[in-house]
Amino acid sequence: HWVERADPGAFDAVVLAVAHDEFRAFDAATIRALLTPDGVVYDVKSVWPRDVVDDRL
């Protein structure tokens, strides 16, 4: 899976725009590990818990 192959801290933002089960399965640590120190997580579909994301619709 591409998430496991991504370099830690490789992204400034993660935007969840689709509610596929594959994305629902990610835990907070996996999501945050993808981000730079100031990176943000935005959840368009309100899939992930509020404590995991920085903002959502």
Strand partners, 16: 43
User: What pLDDT shows up at residue 1?
Assistant: 65
Spell out the domain ranges in the chain: 2-45
CB 55 within 8 A of CB 45: no
SS3 content of the chain, % helix, strand, coil (to 5): 25, 30, 45
pLDDT digits (tens, 9 = 90+) for 11-40: 999 999 999 998 888 888 888 999 999 999
53: left (phi over 0), alpha (psi -120 to 50) or beta: beta
